[in-house]
Structure 1
Amino acid sequence: MKAALGIAAWTRTGSGIYGTNASLRTCRSSSSNGAGALPKPEAAPSTVVPGTNDPTPNTRQTRSRPSRRCDRSRSAPFRKCPSGYIPGVPVPSEPIWSCDPHTVAKHQILKVYLKQWLPTLLLGGYRGVTYAEGFAGSGVYQGGEAGSPVIALRAALGQRQLLEAGKTVDLVFIEEDQRRFDILKQELTKVWAAASQAAPVPATLRRPHLRCADHADVLLPVLEQIGAMRQPVFAFLDSWGGTDVPLDIARAIATAPASEVLVTFGTRYLIRFGEQDRQKEEGDRVFGGTAWRKVFTLPAGQKKLFLVSTYRRSLQEAGFRYVTSFEMLDEGGHDLHLVHGTSHLRGLEKMKNAMWEVDKVGGVQFRDPRDPAQGLLELGLEPNLMGPLHRALQARLTERPHTVAELKQHALCETAYRAQHVFPLVRRMLREGHIEQSTPGPLSDNTLLQLAGPKPVQDSLF
């Protein structure tokens, strides 16, 4: 349990949110339902940085960190931390760094998804929604590329018609590094000012709520204090791939109606360092239990798949009915997983659409972590006849015959593919003789399919 931190209390004054520091202990329950009451902090007047809902620097209380003993050489874009907060995980040493292929792919997916998520929820009977980030970064990269907070703000600004109709959007950005935080404020202020030149930004798009702190300590309290937990929340928890995101955060967000999480999940850290006592405790917080520790007894080739599958189950137990994941692999062989949790099938469908609509990014490839053969996904193309989806459907039919509709559901919920990928692949599998129909008639969702039986051996004539 981390020590209690002083965090800014939020009170509504006019159209802005004002903050001041007050002592607040965040209750992270270890119970199965994750319940933990958040005490109401005392409020006092303060000032706000123009363009954001951020307390001024002199009102923030910073947190002390254990010595990282890292290589802080400016010649390298990343430093390797053998010990400290996230040992063994590459962390940028500068406030702005280059946008690697992993990040380009993630941002393309996020941009496509938010374009679908915002109007779907706002038109679906909800008065407002909240987008939140726990690792916001600087909002910009060395090449001038927009960071995820800027992408999210622009996506919200693009919903002007719904905003003018009275729908509300809140944006919450948490960044622990003071240098990145200061740059982030500047980038968001520039985007807001540019949008205001054409026409005033509707008041229903609240100025972003910014906090310079550890997301594990302040994200949930801020969401509670601005009333976000009474409406849909989409939380993007894009960490460095260490043990940064306690499951309690996802569990709490799952209690908000129609809420979702998108988590960056890495396996290398736990595989390399997980047997150390401190890292075991960190892993327990990430997974919400000790089941993940079985990884220490598995062969090397099974460790990654086991950790990803166990984390998916942890998110499901936390309250997200549908959890999907896919792996991004760069040219150097470095892997990173995006794990999406939602309780609505439509949310799962839209995330799959966002993934498959992403442009092909140079230097990064995609893989379904559940595919035993670890075949690469050809985004934008029809599934390969002998590829991951073919193997998944064949394995499913090995159990018993299934209808086409059941195979569609399996592909959507248990693979990296979409339901619409199934029908054309089934036709090809029928033509090639891999499977056969158990029911007569034209191929439809109700058609029962089974694996093709052995072909009869013809007698040879001599």
Structure 2
Amino acid sequence: MSYAEIDTVKRELLVRYLEAWVPAALHRARRVIYAHGYADADGGAAAEAAMRVLAEQSDLVRGRELAMVATGDDLGAISERLSAIQEQSGAGAGLAVHTISGGTDGRLPVGLKAIGAQRVPVLGFLDASGTGSPPAPATVAALTAGKPAEVILVLPAGASTDSLRTGWPLFTSVELAVSDEPGELLAFGTTAGKSLEGFKEALWSVDEFAGVRYRDPGDPDRHLIDISLTPHPGPLRRELLAHLEQVGEATVTELRTFALTETVYRAADATRVLHGLVDAGTVARRPSHGRLGGDVVIALA
């Protein structure tokens, strides 16, 4: 098992999310910015994949402005390849690429400010997994200038996200695991609830690659979860029961929100698990009959 499969999963997730994000962002605003940090960390493969997605939106770009700013230690050759993709797209001046060498922590905040990333849709992708340390908090926080703002982070195994959450009201993370050892930490921060739902859909929609599985950082049993449109419910079941033990009772809506924001799962997965817990008599519901709607109160039996 090599880590090439993990890189493939990360690229596919990025591509899937970008394919949904770009049209929605261009529909919302006339200017849209995508920021790609550590663009040379993987030889430029992820940055090129992202640029191809942007180029495929050439019809939507006309009359609007879609910009990519890429930073890294040395982007000489990568800059040429990104520019070639841009020129071949036929999008003209509406699609722009800005590459800045000299390091992501030192250059990304400056680059975002220079191209006017304030109060326009911004998505950042920062894969720092190969650097040995997370991005500087100021680098991640610089992306919050966008409106709305979103960031996909990849951190080295064992890294903490505590210092990187500032400015992100919604934040979630998942391990990319290949063994029982801690895996790379994939995190997502956003200022919009719909974006979190969209990220979770992309997370579970990627193709399964041999040996690569997810692990919920909040699961005390560290259960490995196969990548699937209908993921194994075990970790979510344990986390919902632990949450109910802590809070006493909660509505279905509150438990769906807990699953979406505090676990690797989607809100719909919580509904599926709650139906099973009610049927098994593990939890009690109030009222005791009828549809399991959002206002139904759930407590441990």
User: What's the TM-score once normalised by structure 1's chain length?
Assistant: 0.60
CA offsets per residue over residues 86-130 of structure 1, 9 Å max, x none?
A: xxxxxxxxxxxx971111111111011111111122212x21111
Match for residue 108 of structure 1 among 12, 25, 33: 12
Structure of larger gyration radius? 1
Contact 1:138 1:184 in 2 (8 A): no
Contact 1:329 1:367 in 2 (8 A): yes
Contact 1:253 1:260 in 2 (8 A): yes
The verdict on how the C-alpha distance between 1:123 and 1:434 changes in structure 2, with shifts beyond 3 A counting, is: same
In the TM superposition, what is the alpha-carbon distance from 1:418 to its structure 2 partner? 0.3
Aligned to 1:161: 59
Aligned to 1:261: 151
Contact 2:175 2:214 in 1 (8 A): yes
In the TM superposition, what is the alpha-carbon distance from 1:421 to its structure 2 partner? 0.6
CA offsets per residue over residues 11-65 of structure 1, 9 Å max, x none?
A: xxxxxxxxxxxxxxxxxxxxxxxxxxxxxxxxxxxxxxxxxxxxxxxxxxxxxxx
CA offsets per residue over residues 60-91 of structure 1, 9 Å max, x none?
A: xxxxxxxxxxxxxxxxxxxxxxxxxxxxxxxx
Instruction: Say if 2:297 is the partner of 1:407.
Output: no
Contact 2:244 2:299 in 1 (8 A): yes
* 1:239-388 equivalent positions in 2, closer than 5 A: 239=128, 240-268=130-158, 308=160, 311=161, 313-316=162-165, 318-331=166-179, 333=181, 335-385=183-233, 387-388=234-235
In the TM superposition, what is the alpha-carbon distance from 1:267 to its structure 2 partner? 4.3
Once residues 231 and 37 of structure 2 are traced to their aligned partners in structure 1, the CA distance between those partners, rounded to angstroms, is 35
- Report the 3-state secondary structure (helix = DSSP H, G, I; strand = E; otherwise coil) of the residue aligned with 1:371: coil
* Structure 2 residues not aligned, in runs of 5+: none
Bigger relative contact order (CA 8 A; separation at least 6): 2
In the TM superposition, what is the alpha-carbon distance from 1:193 to its structure 2 partner? 4.5
Contact 1:328 1:367 in 2 (8 A): yes
Once residues 231 and 210 of structure 1 are traced to their aligned partners in structure 2, the CA distance between those partners, rounded to angstroms, is 20
Once residues 226 and 219 of structure 1 are traced to their aligned partners in structure 2, the CA distance between those partners, rounded to angstroms, is 11
Aligned to 1:395: 242
* 1:180-199 equivalent positions in 2, closer than 5 A: 181-195=75-89
Once residues 332 and 113 of structure 1 are traced to their aligned partners in structure 2, the CA distance between those partners, rounded to angstroms, is 28
* Structure 1 residues not aligned, in runs of 5+: 1-97, 141-145, 269-306, 453-462
Q: Which amino acid is 1:132 matched to?
A: A
Once residues 434 and 441 of structure 1 are traced to their aligned partners in structure 2, the CA distance between those partners, rounded to angstroms, is 16
Aligned to 1:118: 22
Decide which structure has greater strand share.
Answer: 2
In the TM superposition, what is the alpha-carbon distance from 1:440 to its structure 2 partner? 3.0
Q: Percent identity?
A: 30
Q: Which amino acid is 1:444 matched to?
A: G
Once residues 154 and 381 of structure 1 are traced to their aligned partners in structure 2, the CA distance between those partners, rounded to angstroms, is 26
Decide which structure has greater helix share.
Answer: 2
Contact 2:119 2:148 in 1 (8 A): no
How many residues matched? Answer: 297
Instruction: Say if 2:293 is the partner of 1:444.
Output: yes
- Report the 3-state secondary structure (helix = DSSP H, G, I; strand = E; otherwise coil) of the residue aligned with 1:132: strand
RMSD, matched Cα: 2.1
In the TM superposition, what is the alpha-carbon distance from 1:167 to its structure 2 partner? 2.0
